């Protein structure tokens, strides 16, 4: 090379690969991905690695969702969003290296608190407003904003995630540009999406109003026994406030949950985000320094209640992950199993269970008891008839465990490790126990001291809720206790 001439050849970026990391616990799973905690071997930095099986997204036609999420995460540059640090792939999987939100979901803290006070509601409402302002300014609509998609970082600041159903608008004003696909979650979906299958920037503002309502009273404004009835309430904008509800919070909710998208506070016809940020509820909020403000002190105790502050032990990390943890092409996971032999050892009827009536005639009950004695689950039942059983994931904070749930006479609701066949716990039953249906897969069992977050991967959560309600009515006569909401 001639003297004085420097080599201008661009250096090739060194791509990361799976062997660069050590892997730990499963942090969660989406409709087409599994997220696992990982530590980079050279830097010791922690990441949440989202692993997406190529054959799954091809079979389920989710390629567009994956590319959309990647594009959104690359564009977002704000402290209130999950960060995308790198991507790589191998023959089987795609990998997204994301920031870790160790304090779990905002929803878990709402459930633990029952409801947020005014100060806590204002704090998180303000962070959501700042996040949406940035997101909409770069032409992204989230379209599935809900407390489950709002995670918390080490300092209890929000980290919005899950952009698989988001929309990037390339041209035009985001407040008037429409999309034609149906996405969202029943309790937070906007009326324009239901009526016209069209979402816009103001659709996220509707969801914001629903979340603020839920934070301050513990329940979203729209919930009924099934999705259809929930949608009818939304179309009529029919919701209520409890007697004790701060007037400033009530006012902002009423100005966000409005049928006409352009009449919602924060929309372009309402002078945009300056009008929303100047609402009396946000009086005193330092918008320029909002990301550096300390979170309410109560959050630490709430997060401890919701997940026991489970921390990942560095010694539990391994050089590779177990492929049985990943969502397979049928959309199921077997996170607790380690071999094909263990996979085949489970009864084929585990996802459904017996579903027997608690009012069976005695002769028929004895017939079922004889059949039950040949089941490996019979020993856990203490001579009681199994009314329903099935494999479900039990989520607590960032921990997700696969368990066999067994509902028996008594009533008892126990859960067992399907591999070691050891009983891991029992949900304490009382007349105050209730169930809450969230989606076809997710439901909560509420007890006086704890809420159990359960995921039925066979999409039969409603059957579990109905069976638990039936048993509760039989033993306690509390027909109103089970709140089966979707």
Q: Where are the domains of the chain?
A: 19-100, 106-307, 338-476
User: Percentage of the chain with pLDDT > 70?
Assistant: 81
Q: If pLDDT is split at 50, 70 and 90, which confidence band does 183 have?
A: low
Q: If pLDDT is split at 50, 70 and 90, which confidence band does 406 have?
A: very high
Q: What is the mean pLDDT of residues 415-443?
A: 86
How far is it, in rounded angstroms, from Cα 248 to Cα 253? 9
Q: What is the pTM of this model?
A: 0.68
How far is it, in rounded angstroms, from Cα 319 to Cα 351? 32
Two tokens, residue 320: 């590779």
Please report, for residues 117, 203, 210, 289, 373, the alpha-carbon distance to residue 249 in angstroms, rounded to integers and kept in the order given: 10, 19, 11, 22, 57
- What does CATH list as the number for 106-307? 1.10.510.10
**pLDDT of 176 above 50:** no
Q: What confidence score (pLDDT) does residue 133 get?
A: 97
Q: Which fold has domain 19-100?
A: Phosphorylase Kinase; domain 1 (3.30.200)
- What does CATH list as the number for 338-476? 2.30.29.30
Nearest to 174 by CA among 312, 267, 41, 308: 267
Q: What confidence score (pLDDT) does residue 102 get?
A: 85
Q: What is the mean pLDDT of residues 87-106?
A: 92
Catalytic one of 7, 20, 144, 248? 144
Contact (CB, 8 A) for 48 and 98: yes
Average pLDDT, the chain: 82
Strands (E), 356-398: 386-396
**pLDDT of 1 above 50:** no
Our answer to whether residue 154 is catalytic in this structure is no
């Amino acid at each position: 090379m001639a003297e004085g001439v420097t080599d201008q050849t661009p250096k090739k970026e060194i791509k990361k690969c799976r062997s660069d990391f050590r892997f730990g616990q499963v942090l969660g799973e989406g409709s087409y991905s599994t997220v696992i905690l990982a530590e980079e071997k050279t830097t010791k930095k922690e990441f949440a690695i989202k692993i997406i099986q190529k054959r799954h997204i091809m079979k389920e036609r989710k390629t567009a969702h994956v590319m959309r999420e990647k594009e959104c995460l690359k564009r977002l540059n704000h402290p209130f969003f999950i960060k995308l640090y790198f991507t790589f792939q191998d023959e089987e999987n795609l990998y997204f290296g994301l920031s870790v939100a160790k304090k779990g979901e905002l929803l878990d803290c709402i459930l633990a608190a029952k409801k947020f006070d005014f100060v806590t509601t204002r704090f998180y409402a303000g962070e959501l407003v700042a996040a949406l302002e940035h997101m909409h300014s770069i032409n992204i609509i989230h379209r599935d904003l809900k407390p489950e998609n709002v995670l918390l970082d080490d300092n209890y600041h929000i980290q919005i995630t899950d952009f698989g159903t988001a929309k990037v608008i390339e041209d035009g004003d985001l407040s008037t540009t429409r999309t034609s696909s149906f996405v969202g979650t029943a309790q937070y979906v906007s009326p324009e999406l239901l009526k016209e299958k069209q979402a816009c920037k103001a659709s996220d503002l509707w969801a914001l109003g629903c979340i603020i309502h839920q934070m301050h009273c513990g329940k979203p404004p729209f919930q009924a026994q099934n999705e259809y009835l929930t949608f009818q309430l939304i179309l009529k904008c029919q919701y209520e406030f409890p007697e004790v509800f701060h007037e400033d919070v009530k006012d902002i909710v009423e100005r966000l949950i409005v049928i006409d998208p352009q009449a919602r506070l924060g929309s372009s016809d309402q002078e945009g985000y300056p009008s929303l940020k100047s609402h009396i509820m946000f009086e005193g909020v330092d918008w320029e320094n909002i990301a550096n403000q300390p979170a309410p002190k109560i959050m630490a105790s709430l997060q401890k209640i919701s997940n026991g502050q489970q921390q990942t032990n560095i010694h539990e990390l391994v050089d590779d992950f177990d492929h049985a943890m990943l969502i397979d092409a049928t959309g199921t996971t077997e996170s607790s199993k380690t071999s094909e032999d263990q996979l085949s050892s489970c009864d084929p009827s585990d996802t459904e269970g017996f579903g027997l009536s608690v009012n069976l005639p005695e002769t028929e009950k004895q017939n079922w008891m004889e059949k039950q004695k040949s089941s490996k689950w019979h020993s856990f039942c203490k001579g009681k008839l199994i009314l329903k059983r099935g494999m479900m994931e039990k989520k607590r904070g960032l921990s997700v465990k696969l368990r066999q749930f067994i509902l028996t006479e008594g009533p008892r609701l126990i859960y067992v490790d399907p591999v070691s066949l050891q009983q891991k716990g029992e949900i304490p039953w009382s007349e105050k126990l209730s169930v809450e249906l969230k989606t076809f897969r997710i439901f909560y069992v509420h007890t006086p001291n704890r809420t159990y977050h359960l995921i039925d991967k066979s999409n039969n959560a409603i059957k579990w809720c109905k069976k638990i309600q039936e048993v509760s009515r039989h033993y306690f006569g509390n027909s109103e206790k089970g709140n089966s909401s979707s």
